[in-house]
């Protein structure tokens, strides 16, 4: 399965995201990269994409989405409202296939944020969203939470990787176990020597024998 995760909005100029307790443009990129890593851990081919400037950034993002035979393209966003109490997560779709993915992701996000339900961009929101109109593969747009709501942003900033994990699980319709989710690197598989102390020969020899008696056969005396 080939998936594109695109960070919404530009970083500068026209097209920058909402600003509140967090900066949407910046967090779109942080969260999207985490999602890509989790999808890769599940064995999926996942690409990351961002457009940092340009008045036609949506067209550029859509061009990338249509450049490969992706099975799903996802754009990451955060919501904003003048009503500081507005909160929660929602996933927006247009196609019937997109609706399936939207509900899967929403089912995961609602375990952390208020459930604002999945929404059809035209029928429910009365908006013609370029990301959903211009992309050929099944597409969804995730409004993770509200940058204008402190409770939402506090929950997000203290759990960025967990939120990314939930989104990846929703996309894949799989649960990432602790083994899959571990950040164990190749260095953890190396063998390490444990040095305890340095002392005179007689005491060192005595300590070595004690360790051998306890089952630690590979013990050595190393002159200092």
Q: Within a domain: residue 32?
A: yes
Q: Within a domain: residue 186?
A: no
Q: By C-alpha distance, which of 175, 174, 170, 110 is closest to 140?
A: 170
Q: Tell me which residue has tokens 């409004």.
A: 143
Same domain, 15 and 74: yes
Q: Within a domain: residue 42?
A: yes
CATH of the domain at 91: 3.40.630.40
Residue 132 is predicted with a pLDDT of: 98
Q: What does the block give as tokens for 100?
A: 């399936």
Residue 40 is predicted with a pLDDT of: 96
Same domain, 26 and 103: yes
Q: What does the block give as tokens for 135?
A: 């992309």
Residue 128 is predicted with a pLDDT of: 97
Same domain, 76 and 119: yes
Same domain, 26 and 121: yes
Residue 184 is predicted with a pLDDT of: 35
The structural domain count of the chain equals 2
Residue 209 is predicted with a pLDDT of: 73
**CA–CA gap between residue 130 and residue 168 (Å, rounded):** 23
98-149 residue pLDDT tens? 999 999 999 999 999 999 999 999 999 999 999 999 999 999 999 999 999 9
Residue 182 is predicted with a pLDDT of: 43
Same domain, 72 and 174: yes
Residue 41 is predicted with a pLDDT of: 94
Residue 11 is predicted with a pLDDT of: 96
Q: Which stretches of the chain drop beneath a pLDDT of 70?
A: 178-194, 196-197, 212-224
State which residues form the domain around 62.
Answer: 2-181
């Amino acid at each position: 399965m080939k998936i594109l995760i695109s960070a919404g909005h530009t970083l500068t100029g026209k097209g920058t995201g909402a600003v509140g307790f967090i900066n949407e443009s910046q967090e779109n990129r942080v969260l999207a990269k985490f999602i890509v890593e989790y999808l890769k851990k599940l064995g999926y081919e996942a690409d990351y994409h961002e457009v940092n400037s340009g008045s036609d950034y949506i067209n550029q993002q859509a061009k990338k989405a249509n450049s490969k035979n992706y099975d799903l393209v996802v754009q990451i966003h955060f919501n904003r409202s003048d009503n500081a109490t507005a909160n929660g997560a929602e996933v927006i779709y247009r196609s019937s296939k997109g609706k399936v993915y939207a509900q899967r992701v929403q089912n995961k996000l609602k375990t952390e944020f208020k459930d604002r339900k999945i929404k059809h961009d035209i029928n429910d929101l009365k908006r013609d969203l370029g990301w959903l109109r211009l992309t050929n593969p099944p597409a969804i747009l995730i409004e993770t939470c509200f940058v204008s709501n402190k409770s939402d942003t506090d929950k997000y900033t203290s759990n960025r990787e967990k939120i990314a994990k939930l989104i990846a699980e929703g996309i894949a319709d799989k649960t990432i176990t602790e083994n899959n989710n571990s950040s164990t690197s190749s260095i953890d598989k190396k063998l390490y020597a444990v040095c305890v102390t340095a002392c005179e020969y007689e005491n060192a020899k005595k300590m070595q024998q004690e360790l051998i008696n306890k089952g630690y056969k590979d013990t050595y005396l190393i002159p200092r």
